[in-house]
Structure 1
């Protein structure tokens, strides 16, 4: 078999190319336990032109020898005909120097095409002088040569054949210009006998493979063509075209374990670096050849430990996060193969002050904020790349514990790559044999190259951002100066930087650019353990649980704080809200804190006491040993006319702008769920034809809500433009939809089968403010307190439009309407019915208390007679 390219080095040096000239080839046998045997066969009785030779560098007097006419076409004829093909050869004689001469036939026996005859027939070779036609083979050559001469083929054509002589250039005056010109399109080249030997490429410059390297391959730095300092001679490497029938040679070498990828060149490889990495990974997994001793970085991990989904709880640094696993355990994850911003150089100023890495290291704060906003509280995909073992400290490097390094992605985005692309981190460089790196290392290098090119972040030439953050934690004098400002500000935006305990936090106020210590008001949290010098104190029960709860809820989250006061140590005291949740109330609800007596003066007292009463009844955590003080039973004396109370459980589904509300009966909730399940199954099995339903006022139908599910509805109005106003009969909310989101209601699920489940009610004993802002405040309060919650409902009396009722919270049994009166959000509706006088008196007493406290409607004192009409009330 004619060897296509040995591509290896023998002990004597590079082997010869498979086609040496127009009359000499290298044939290769079958490998048996080692490299295959090779033999040079020179074709008998013919001669072809010699190829050009470069002057030997070791011989100063030698000169470059050009091609002989028709020498290169003869060599090309043999190369195209024989490379990779099976041949049969016979040796006719051997010279004293060991050179063998014979005949070569295409195929497995001598019946195949005679290569020497083909050359002579094409006019690419001639019979050797002095050879007489004294045998059939020689006679055949003479006959073929005469035919070629008569047909003026090849060397027998008119002219000197100078057009077949190559104009070879062994060096380039402007290599970069040549490289740039070759970037525009793939270039065809010829494979050399060894990667150390330059390849021939028209217009005859030297090229080699890229980008992987085998034991002696020079390495380029571009995806297809680029300059490189080769170990042999400077040359212009060219990637083999990936469109050839046998595939991309680069990938094949990697896949068979003959080569490894090179980081510094593959980063700019435009023909699919991921394919090269995949080919290398294929060889690694099968331990082929150079990877026979390969051990994967995560070989000792189970599959569930290699890839998992977790919730991000904290950003430790610009390259490290803390996640919560499904098991409830916490794990620190380091982003693979990147380095966070670091301080370059140690100025005298840096040495004389305490370094705060987050604010003093350039771009560290930006990197942390990028990760915090992207990840905190969200679920991410974690793919472990390697485990970095623990290391001991040295003179220059601190000690490190074992690190789990992984690729973290969210929504298909590699967070490390996004960080690097913004110039907020750099990519680590590794030794060529260091396999402990990110599985997406090439993407990281490419992202860094883009960041450098665009001057992003750390690579920017602009002035480094400076964060002047004042830490007033524990500084009483500064805290006193800030206190009035924060009190007047009402709710201020903040970021929770650290959680010391369940009720003690460190906050960063962005607008004020300061750090404060913040204590939650209105509660008394269990004290944690103290290990100060000379003071060792065990923590109270459930202190760790309270700290963990606060961390999971607010750590590094954006929150709102209301500052009320400060203590003598310079710590601010107030209320912290996150997404509508009061942290003080949440801790009390979880039975992780008790209500402090100071809460009586706050607007959140009712919510705190209700939460505490519910926790006491459950006897959980801090209330696990709570026993109620027995109260002597008092037999009430019934009045002549008693108010009837029959509270039933309901679920509040909708609050209207005029403070009406819709509820579902809890007792029939299971029937509604079953009906919805069956209805959606039928609609899914027989989808309605879009646009087939023509809505008319009063029609029952089904409507597709924003969650993509179908619900029962009633058409209330059809606009001329086609929009349809509908009312969801089981929930009480309204919506305007196009007809395409409506369909007929299947008869099996009509109101005759199950009546509409949403019933409208109004609060009894109160008057809703006519002023829009005041009414909106009342509605917002009710929405926060009872929407989508279970309550207890009692019908008090009938009214125009809908029944008037009282509502109670399901857990605390406190009156919702009475709470609105206490907060000064509504006024009491005087009623003369005798059975209501007791409850009306309670409402009026609450109203007087709200007046005294100047709450909401009463913040300017009692109403004057001329104010009544303005605010929509009457005396």
Structure 2
């Protein structure tokens, strides 16, 4: 800013303007205008503001005050301002000290005499009292005052009492924030960067100009207004030139188009002018294709997050910018500790928000504009703020509708408030604030004063007894609407049945295996036919008229199970599988069709297939099931574990920041102090969380402090769970606990943590049944148990298995003859054995 200089007009005096008493000195009273003081000031304002002048200095006092003459124009030939004031009767001539030889002083006296004779200005008869303003420094009810003039332009420089303190409205002009002068303890003022420039920029355009003021709002008794200059809106100009930033909380009341202000601010940021000289855009490091793209919505994670599928086939989690889904406070959550907390159903309006997202987005293409990348955070030991992984936050729209704005307008989400200097926010932040204001005014959703909706949902997943009670109703219902809540695998899903208000585990009928995990949280029709021993329902799913089992088979993603022969869909499944085989796609890519004569021969004399592969036995359960890892993929697991632990070591998880939920994948710290991938199976309390180590097959009950969020780079999408469950073929599991425990002890000693050879013999209810051989001797582990009299043989009726069954029965006969272990009693008969185990009679 250029230097300023104050020039006082020589030889004349005008009335003093009104002054408000200092608020720090309540004993003093306000000083009113002297007659014609305001008129004199207005005369000068209209004559001089914005004009060039020339001045001469005649006297300079000890205190540095300068007195002289001011002329309109660029030289002293212009109009003399002091003479013009005196001529109009707006100033007195100081006659003391007048020198007769000074023509300028003599002329002032002559002009004053002429004004008196003409009765101009202060010399008029009886008119002085009408020149004093009736000023008001405060308004009794500013809200009513603003409402009476709302959005009506008001002249900023008037002298009627209605338009009070026009200059004060400028001080409440809070749509933007400029750098300011900070007052120090000693009374001095220190300017922030660009504060002086911003002040001069505004003063040079507005100070004492005729302007219009639009009163916008009156929050907390403070008046907000917009100042309009004949040449434009000063607010936009300040923003465009980088002298100011927008103020979020007041943008919602701006009636002149908030988008113009944001556009002006954006222009300054892009040009990096003044206060934005060091500005870096939140998405500066992203390529254009990563900033804006079209993707298909595959899953609704939460009311503010979705999973989309990119054109490249990659899945990406997108969080909606600047909004927060419904949530509940901790004490409210812990009211009923005996009841398992289910956020989707127990947090008010969480279910409605998710349903809105699901119905609007699932399976549809959306436009995604990335607004910012929220860096990963760690929870502080002294703060309740939780830890979060890195988030891609974006504006998601479909059909021109901003989904975040739609959620907020329905009261199904709230808008996040930011620090003024936090630029990581939605590109449509003002629209979100306006939508929230409408929702609050109309009492929508979270802002409603009505009772919150309650969702009583029975979770019968894995609850066999409850499942038996629901089965008849679900069977009689035929095709029923169902929402896929979670997809465990291509053929195993968790469904929400809206009509029955229950959650069930659902197995697709007609398939033996599936090689895809569809992640669509979608509305389907379920047709339940039966239930297995674990309380899982078995049936068919239809989406948009398509049988999902048939679709998976036709798309070469699944094979038909022989149990489908009894269903009405068998012909469709069989023909779909045959067509997929002929196309040699996906699971049939390496399929070799055998000659007709060979097929006929095999159908007549089907042989058992012996295709042993190397596995590593990692865990043996009390039920005599065991878990293995394929030796072939062992290196991949080792590399993943090494990389994962290295990353965790560099950025350790914050203890206690993870909230365990059943079915979630996480990482857990084992007794050896190392982190492993795991799945939450049950949550009794924060101190008792049941986890299953997905790569090793063992289970453990741990406190939630030993759990953390699994880094995305090490999820099951990167490497599938490596532990596979199997059961021994051709043998019966002893029902007597002591006998079974002894068998398990033998197995642990012989095969746990060793490499073996495995061959799948036939399918079972919960896992494949296999034979296991020692890697060195090739001896059959199960057959050895039979020969040692540890277990009994399970007789299979399949023709192609009879050779193995006979071998096992021969081993059992030899154990009987030798009276080994379970056969050690003297006289017995086969029918003396209890049908469930080995409680044999003497």
User: Common fold, TM-score beyond 0.5?
Assistant: yes
Structure 1, residues 103-146: CA drift from partner, whole Å, max 9, x if none?
21222222333222322332222333243664443454345444
Q: Distance in 2 between matches of 1:224 and 1:177?
A: 11
Contact persistence 1:341–1:458 (CA under 8 A): yes
Which residue of structure 1 aligns with residue 37 of structure 2?
71
Contact persistence 1:379–1:410 (CA under 8 A): yes
Which residue of structure 1 aligns with residue 75 of structure 2?
109
Which residue of structure 2 aligns with residue 595 of structure 1?
560
Contact persistence 1:224–1:269 (CA under 8 A): no
Which residue of structure 1 aligns with residue 479 of structure 2?
491
1:475 aligns with 2:463: yes
Contact persistence 1:483–1:566 (CA under 8 A): yes
1:453 aligns with 2:441: yes
Match of 1:274 among 250, 259, 276: 259
Which residue of structure 1 aligns with residue 129 of structure 2?
162
Structure 1, residues 355-380: CA drift from partner, whole Å, max 9, x if none?
11111111111111111111111111
Match of 2:227 among 241, 249, 252: 241
Structure 1, residues 285-342: CA drift from partner, whole Å, max 9, x if none?
2222222222222221122211211111111011111111111111111111111111
Secondary structure class of the residue paired with 2:67: strand
Which residue of structure 1 aligns with residue 347 of structure 2?
361
1:172-321 matches, within 5 Å, as: 172-183=139-150, 185-189=152-156, 202-204=163-165, 206-207=168-169, 208=171, 209-216=173-180, 224-227=215-218, 237=223, 239-242=225-228, 244-321=229-306
Structure 1, residues 135-161: CA drift from partner, whole Å, max 9, x if none?
443454345444444443322323241
Secondary structure class of the residue paired with 1:355: coil
State the shift of 1:354 in Å. 2.1
Which residue of structure 1 aligns with residue 90 of structure 2?
124
Structure 1, residues 616-655: CA drift from partner, whole Å, max 9, x if none?
111222223333332369xxxxxxxxxxxxxxxxxxxxxx
Contact persistence 1:523–1:593 (CA under 8 A): yes
Contact persistence 1:47–1:127 (CA under 8 A): yes
Contact persistence 2:146–2:215 (CA under 8 A): no
Contact persistence 1:190–1:201 (CA under 8 A): no
Which residue of structure 2 aligns with residue 370 of structure 1?
356
Unaligned runs of 5+ in 2: 183-212, 599-842
Query: Residue 228 and residue 594 in structure 1: after superposition, are their counterparts in 2 closer, same or farther (change >3 A)?
Result: closer
Which residue of structure 2 aligns with residue 434 of structure 1?
422
Q: Distance in 1 between matches of 2:575 and 2:442?
A: 57
Query: Residue 59 and residue 405 in structure 1: after superposition, are their counterparts in 2 closer, same or farther (change >3 A)?
Result: closer
Contact persistence 2:227–2:235 (CA under 8 A): no
Contact persistence 1:123–1:145 (CA under 8 A): yes
Contact persistence 1:507–1:518 (CA under 8 A): yes
Contact persistence 2:487–2:493 (CA under 8 A): yes
Query: Residue 377 and residue 58 in structure 1: after superposition, are their counterparts in 2 closer, same or farther (change >3 A)?
Result: closer
Which residue of structure 2 aligns with residue 380 of structure 1?
366
Which residue of structure 2 aligns with residue 351 of structure 1?
337
State the shift of 1:432 in Å. 1.9
Q: Distance in 2 between matches of 1:240 and 1:565?
A: 70
Structure 1, residues 65-95: CA drift from partner, whole Å, max 9, x if none?
2211111011011112211221111112223
1:414-813 matches, within 5 Å, as: 414-526=402-514, 543=515, 546-547=516-517, 550-551=518-519, 555-631=520-596
Q: Distance in 1 between matches of 2:452 and 2:424?
A: 33
State the shift of 1:561 in Å. 1.7
Secondary structure class of the residue paired with 1:477: helix
Secondary structure class of the residue paired with 1:352: coil
Secondary structure class of the residue paired with 1:506: strand
Query: Residue 261 and residue 217 in structure 1: after superposition, are their counterparts in 2 closer, same or farther (change >3 A)?
Result: farther
Query: Residue 168 and residue 477 in structure 1: after superposition, are their counterparts in 2 closer, same or farther (change >3 A)?
Result: same
Q: Distance in 2 between matches of 1:62 and 1:399?
A: 57
Contact persistence 2:298–2:363 (CA under 8 A): yes
State the shift of 1:496 in Å. 1.1
Secondary structure class of the residue paired with 1:250: helix
Secondary structure class of the residue paired with 2:246: coil
Secondary structure class of the residue paired with 2:57: strand
User: Which moved further from structure 2: 123-132 or 424-433?
Assistant: 123-132
Query: Residue 357 and residue 490 in structure 1: after superposition, are their counterparts in 2 closer, same or farther (change >3 A)?
Result: same
Query: Residue 317 and residue 155 in structure 1: after superposition, are their counterparts in 2 closer, same or farther (change >3 A)?
Result: same
Unaligned runs of 5+ in 1: 1-34, 192-198, 230-234, 527-542, 634-875
Structure 1, residues 703-729: CA drift from partner, whole Å, max 9, x if none?
xxxxxxxxxxxxxxxxxxxxxxxxxxx
State the shift of 1:62 in Å. 4.3
Query: Residue 204 and residue 614 in structure 1: after superposition, are their counterparts in 2 closer, same or farther (change >3 A)?
Result: closer
Count of residue pairs the alignment pairs up: 560
Q: Distance in 2 between matches of 1:619 and 1:595?
A: 16
1:341 aligns with 2:326: yes
State the shift of 1:477 in Å. 2.2
Q: Distance in 2 between matches of 1:329 and 1:59?
A: 70
Contact persistence 1:223–1:265 (CA under 8 A): no
When the two chains are superposed, the root-mean-square deviation of aligned CA atoms in Å is 2.7
Query: Residue 170 and residue 302 in structure 1: after superposition, are their counterparts in 2 closer, same or farther (change >3 A)?
Result: same
Query: Residue 524 and residue 228 in structure 1: after superposition, are their counterparts in 2 closer, same or farther (change >3 A)?
Result: closer
Query: Residue 567 and residue 64 in structure 1: after superposition, are their counterparts in 2 closer, same or farther (change >3 A)?
Result: closer
Contact persistence 2:151–2:214 (CA under 8 A): no
User: Which moved further from structure 2: 46-55 or 456-465?
Assistant: 46-55
Query: Residue 228 and residue 319 in structure 1: after superposition, are their counterparts in 2 closer, same or farther (change >3 A)?
Result: closer
Q: Distance in 1 between matches of 2:126 and 2:385?
A: 76
Contact persistence 2:512–2:560 (CA under 8 A): yes
Which residue of structure 2 aligns with residue 400 of structure 1?
388
Contact persistence 2:69–2:81 (CA under 8 A): yes
State the shift of 1:56 in Å. 4.1
Which residue of structure 1 aligns with residue 802 of structure 2?
none
Contact persistence 2:540–2:547 (CA under 8 A): yes
TM-score normalised by length of structure 2: 0.63
Q: Distance in 1 between matches of 2:274 and 2:20?
A: 36
TM-score normalised by length of structure 1: 0.60
Query: Residue 138 and residue 323 in structure 1: after superposition, are their counterparts in 2 closer, same or farther (change >3 A)?
Result: same
